[in-house]
Amino acid sequence: MFESKYIIELIKGEITDKGYEHIINSISFLIHKYKWPNLIITSSDTFHNQKWIIDDIREFAHQYFEWVILKDKLKYLNKIPESYLSYYFTKMFFSFVSEKIKEQQQSIMLKVENAHLHKIFYRLGKNNNNYPDNSLLKPTHAHIL
Protein backbone atom coordinates (compact mmCIF):
# COMPACT_ATOMS: atom_id res chain seq x y z
CA MET A 1 0.00 0.00 0.00
CA PHE A 2 2.25 2.80 1.27
CA GLU A 3 5.73 2.41 -0.18
CA SER A 4 8.50 2.19 2.39
CA LYS A 5 10.78 4.66 0.63
CA TYR A 6 8.16 7.42 0.93
CA ILE A 7 7.49 6.57 4.56
CA ILE A 8 11.22 6.88 5.21
CA GLU A 9 11.18 10.29 3.50
CA LEU A 10 8.32 11.32 5.77
CA ILE A 11 10.15 10.09 8.88
CA LYS A 12 13.21 12.12 7.91
CA GLY A 13 11.05 15.17 7.22
CA GLU A 14 12.29 15.26 3.64
CA ILE A 15 9.26 14.09 1.71
CA THR A 16 9.44 14.76 -2.01
CA ASP A 17 6.54 15.83 -4.22
CA LYS A 18 6.44 12.31 -5.61
CA GLY A 19 6.33 10.84 -2.10
CA TYR A 20 3.57 13.23 -1.04
CA GLU A 21 1.47 12.37 -4.10
CA HIS A 22 2.04 8.66 -3.48
CA ILE A 23 0.72 8.98 0.08
CA ILE A 24 -2.26 11.06 -1.09
CA ASN A 25 -3.03 8.45 -3.77
CA SER A 26 -2.72 5.61 -1.25
CA ILE A 27 -5.11 7.38 1.14
CA SER A 28 -7.50 8.05 -1.74
CA PHE A 29 -7.40 4.38 -2.70
CA LEU A 30 -8.26 3.31 0.87
CA ILE A 31 -11.05 5.89 1.16
CA HIS A 32 -12.70 4.64 -2.02
CA LYS A 33 -12.03 0.97 -1.34
CA TYR A 34 -13.71 1.07 2.08
CA LYS A 35 -16.27 3.72 1.08
CA TRP A 36 -15.66 5.91 4.11
CA PRO A 37 -18.02 8.90 4.22
CA ASN A 38 -16.49 12.34 4.01
CA LEU A 39 -18.34 13.17 7.23
CA ILE A 40 -15.16 12.11 9.02
CA ILE A 41 -13.45 15.33 7.94
CA THR A 42 -14.28 17.27 11.06
CA SER A 43 -13.18 20.72 9.95
CA SER A 44 -14.90 20.59 6.60
CA ASP A 45 -18.32 21.68 5.39
CA THR A 46 -18.28 19.08 2.63
CA PHE A 47 -20.57 16.68 4.49
CA HIS A 48 -23.43 17.81 2.29
CA ASN A 49 -21.63 16.27 -0.66
CA GLN A 50 -21.09 12.53 -0.28
CA LYS A 51 -18.38 12.36 -2.95
CA TRP A 52 -14.78 12.85 -1.96
CA ILE A 53 -12.92 15.45 -3.98
CA ILE A 54 -9.15 15.83 -4.07
CA ASP A 55 -9.23 18.76 -1.62
CA ASP A 56 -11.12 16.58 0.89
CA ILE A 57 -8.55 13.83 0.51
CA ARG A 58 -5.65 16.26 0.94
CA GLU A 59 -7.27 17.78 4.03
CA PHE A 60 -7.86 14.31 5.45
CA ALA A 61 -4.24 13.35 4.74
CA HIS A 62 -3.06 16.51 6.51
CA GLN A 63 -5.26 15.63 9.49
CA TYR A 64 -3.62 12.20 9.46
CA PHE A 65 -0.13 13.73 9.40
CA GLU A 66 -1.09 16.01 12.28
CA TRP A 67 -2.49 13.04 14.22
CA VAL A 68 0.69 11.04 13.61
CA ILE A 69 2.80 13.92 14.93
CA LEU A 70 0.59 14.68 17.94
CA LYS A 71 0.40 11.02 18.92
CA ASP A 72 4.19 10.72 18.45
CA LYS A 73 3.71 7.77 16.09
CA LEU A 74 6.90 8.44 14.11
CA LYS A 75 9.09 8.08 17.19
CA TYR A 76 9.65 4.34 16.83
CA LEU A 77 9.18 3.89 13.09
CA ASN A 78 12.96 3.80 12.62
CA LYS A 79 13.06 0.64 14.77
CA ILE A 80 10.61 -1.21 12.54
CA PRO A 81 12.16 -3.32 9.78
CA GLU A 82 11.72 -1.73 6.38
CA SER A 83 9.71 -4.72 5.14
CA TYR A 84 7.03 -3.97 7.80
CA LEU A 85 6.89 -0.19 7.40
CA SER A 86 4.08 -0.25 4.87
CA TYR A 87 2.01 -2.59 7.03
CA TYR A 88 2.61 -0.50 10.17
CA PHE A 89 1.85 2.80 8.42
CA THR A 90 -1.38 1.33 6.99
CA LYS A 91 -2.42 0.09 10.45
CA MET A 92 -1.75 3.56 11.87
CA PHE A 93 -3.97 5.02 9.17
CA PHE A 94 -6.78 2.58 10.06
CA SER A 95 -6.43 3.61 13.72
CA PHE A 96 -6.71 7.25 12.69
CA VAL A 97 -9.82 6.59 10.57
CA SER A 98 -11.36 4.56 13.37
CA GLU A 99 -10.83 7.44 15.79
CA LYS A 100 -12.34 9.94 13.33
CA ILE A 101 -15.40 7.74 12.75
CA LYS A 102 -15.85 7.35 16.51
CA GLU A 103 -15.66 11.14 16.99
CA GLN A 104 -18.22 11.69 14.23
CA GLN A 105 -20.60 9.10 15.66
CA GLN A 106 -20.36 10.69 19.11
CA SER A 107 -21.02 14.10 17.59
CA ILE A 108 -24.09 12.82 15.75
CA MET A 109 -25.39 11.12 18.90
CA LEU A 110 -24.91 14.31 20.91
CA LYS A 111 -26.90 16.25 18.31
CA VAL A 112 -29.68 13.64 18.40
CA GLU A 113 -29.77 13.69 22.21
CA ASN A 114 -29.86 17.49 22.27
CA ALA A 115 -32.69 17.55 19.74
CA HIS A 116 -34.61 14.99 21.78
CA LEU A 117 -34.12 16.98 25.02
CA HIS A 118 -35.06 20.16 23.20
CA LYS A 119 -38.31 18.54 22.11
CA ILE A 120 -39.06 17.27 25.65
CA PHE A 121 -38.39 20.64 27.27
CA TYR A 122 -40.52 22.36 24.66
CA ARG A 123 -43.43 20.00 25.35
CA LEU A 124 -43.01 20.46 29.11
CA GLY A 125 -43.10 24.21 28.76
CA LYS A 126 -46.00 24.16 26.37
CA ASN A 127 -48.17 21.68 28.27
CA ASN A 128 -47.36 22.44 31.90
CA ASN A 129 -49.24 25.39 33.34
CA ASN A 130 -48.37 24.54 36.97
CA TYR A 131 -45.31 26.74 36.80
CA PRO A 132 -45.86 30.45 37.32
CA ASP A 133 -43.28 31.21 34.66
CA ASN A 134 -42.82 28.34 32.26
CA SER A 135 -40.73 30.48 29.90
CA LEU A 136 -37.61 28.79 31.29
CA LEU A 137 -38.70 25.61 29.60
CA LYS A 138 -39.08 27.10 26.15
CA PRO A 139 -36.68 25.76 23.51
CA THR A 140 -34.59 28.91 23.44
CA HIS A 141 -33.63 28.35 27.08
CA ALA A 142 -33.20 24.56 27.02
CA HIS A 143 -29.43 24.89 27.14
CA ILE A 144 -29.66 26.52 30.58
CA LEU A 145 -31.19 23.43 32.13
First to last CA, the chain: 51
Q: How confident is the model at residue 145 (pLDDT cuts 50, 70, 90)?
A: very low
* Cα three-residue angle 126-128-131, rounded to 5 degrees: 115
Listed range (5-19, 27-41, 106-120) with the worst mean pLDDT: 106-120
Domain residue extents for the chain: 4-102, 108-141
pLDDT digits (tens, 9 = 90+) for 71-115: 998 888 878 999 999 999 999 999 999 998 888 877 776 666 666
The total of other beta-carbon atoms located within 10 Å of residue 110's CB is 10
Residue 37 gets the label, from left (phi > 0), alpha (psi -120 to 50) or beta, of beta
